[in-house]
Structure 1
Amino acid sequence: MDPHEVYADLPTADGRPALRLNMIASVDGAITLGGVSGPLGGAGDHRVFTALRSFADAILVAAGTVRAEGYGPASVPLVVVTRSCRLDLDAPLFTAAPVRPVVVTVAAAPRERRERAAEVADVLVAGGEDVDLPVALCELGRRGHASVLAEGGPTLNAQLARADLIDELCLTVSPVMAGGDAGRILSGPPLPRAPRLAPVSVCEEDGFLFLRLRPVSRRATPPAPSRPASPASVGPR
């Protein structure tokens, strides 16, 4: 499987940047092992992760995921969503990034935290008490970002789904069973409706399944045929 070929067909959206959500889960739905996603991954998943980032103009991620996964600098703007604006602004993510990060927060966040964040990142206020994700995405579009990659966590994912902002779900199914109380890819109240997704491509490699799914309401082309797996070896996710 060549991820740069399989995932090159970018989704589109009207009036805002298109948004892909990239997640990994065990076969029983867990998105973490030991509190992080890395142990679920493998060589192919790492290549998909890298390829999806190479297609993105910006990476959207919740502050909690930044902390849990130990995010570092990225080659495109890392857009961190936080209501409280409580961030480790001395972390390399902010101090050593080749591209200035973006902090998306709300008017209710303490002014001193917003001002401190503005010293190392572009601060985007979208919403009063809760982050208005459609407003934030439209503003990213005005700043020239046409393709946004979301990487979680599950609360942010659910908010994106509730606002009907997910144009493509890229889901890696890891061939392990996790058990325990790890979260799912969406966390929060039930969605007001259950949007139906249709597969765009399905690939397998070393027991991992790599799924691309798009909302039926926005799918313009029929599903692509599944691609056979091919061996590859790179580092872990």
Structure 2
Amino acid sequence: MRSVWPSSTGELTGVDLEEIYAYPADLTGPWVQVNFVASADGAVEVDTTSAGLSHAADREVFLLGRDLADVILVGAGTARAEDYRGVVAGAKRLERRRRLGFDGVPPIAVVTRTADLDPASRLFTKTVVPPIVITTETAETGPLEAAGAEILRAGDTDVDVPRALDLLAARGLRRIACEGGPRLFAQLVAADRVDQLCLTVAPLLVAGTADRIATGAAPAVPRRLALASILVEDGFTLLRYRRAAG
């Protein structure tokens, strides 16, 4: 993988990538990075999952995003479709996180209006850190609590996303890596709570009826981003955008 903008370089090292994708220092509130891969014609999935669009370079940045985060945020639909499990506490990951000042691995936080999650799924049974379920005041969460989940309630009948982010930050989980899906991303856009977008464009044409990376209510005006970096490998383009100043 190499950088082509803002500077052109040779092969990037793991340390180079850590510096490129690092979160801002001394955060006092939630800071949200969203990670997506899409085809050249805008599809967010092939046969219902993102795996058919991915590449080793995209996977490396995706995993780095987890290593740099305090918490992984994901919508319930994506968690079910991708059969989410807890972040794996591998030796390489733990060494990197210790070196960067983290303790252990980040929890998965699932946003769900109804708390309709299977307590026997890998999200609850294949994890070293209990998941966080962000839901509403009216959702029935007894089975998920019995499976070990921490429950955060943000909103009466629908999840109040800004409130959810603030609840995570209040627990010291300020570096938030959102891994989708499109509806959760749209909610973050509408609430103007996206600080960084990491978008990998796969050199594929998919067509069909696949979603785009954000699907849902539009903001009153489009949110302005500033291009921060462009990396390339094997025809895949890894774009990084940050919230535009002002």
Aligned pair count reads 215
Task: Confirm or deny: 8 A CA contact 1:201 1:212 kept in the other structure.
Answer: yes
Amino acid across the alignment from 1:39 = G
Residues 4 and 124 of structure 1: is their aligned pair in 2 closer, same or farther, counting only changes over 3 Å?
farther
Structure 1 Cα separation of the partners of residues 131 and 40 of structure 2: 34
1:114 maps to which of 141, 144, 166? 141
Instruction: Return the offset for 1:95.
Output: 2.1
Matched with 1:62 is 75
- Note the residue ranges of structure 2 that are not aligned, 5 or more in a row: 2-12, 88-104
Structure 2 Cα separation of the partners of residues 29 and 191 of structure 1: 20
Residues 146 and 51 of structure 1: is their aligned pair in 2 closer, same or farther, counting only changes over 3 Å?
same
Scaled by the length of structure 1, the TM-score of the pair is 0.86
Amino acid across the alignment from 1:104 = I
Task: Find out whether 1:187 has 2:200 as its counterpart.
Answer: no
Structure 2 Cα separation of the partners of residues 92 and 68 of structure 1: 12
Structure 2 Cα separation of the partners of residues 45 and 77 of structure 1: 21
Matched with 1:43 is 56
Q: Secondary structure at the match of 1:118?
A: helix
Matched with 2:161 is 133
Scaled by the length of structure 2, the TM-score of the pair is 0.83
Amino acid across the alignment from 1:59 = I
Matched with 2:113 is 83
Q: Secondary structure at the match of 1:22?
A: strand
Q: Secondary structure at the match of 1:25?
A: strand
Instruction: Return the offset for 1:14.
Output: 6.8
Instruction: Return the offset for 1:146.
Output: 2.1
- Note the residue ranges of structure 1 that are not aligned, 5 or more in a row: 219-237
Task: Confirm or deny: 8 A CA contact 2:187 2:217 kept in the other structure.
Answer: no
Structure 1 Cα separation of the partners of residues 26 and 141 of structure 2: 30
Question: Pairwise CA RMSD of aligned residues?
Answer: 1.6
Matched with 1:229 is none
Matched with 2:4 is none
Structure 2 Cα separation of the partners of residues 12 and 83 of structure 1: 32
Structure 2 Cα separation of the partners of residues 184 and 169 of structure 1: 14
Query: Structure 1, residues 155-207: CA drift from partner, whole Å, max 9, x if none?
Result: 00000111111100000000101101101111013321101111110011100
Matched with 1:21 is 34
Task: Confirm or deny: 8 A CA contact 2:181 2:213 kept in the other structure.
Answer: yes
Structure 2 Cα separation of the partners of residues 165 and 26 of structure 1: 25
Q: Secondary structure at the match of 2:79?
A: helix
Task: Confirm or deny: 8 A CA contact 1:13 1:167 kept in the other structure.
Answer: no
Instruction: Return the offset for 1:76.
Output: 1.4
Q: What is the identity percentage for the equivalent residue pairs of Structure 1 and Structure 2? A: 41
Amino acid across the alignment from 1:114 = T
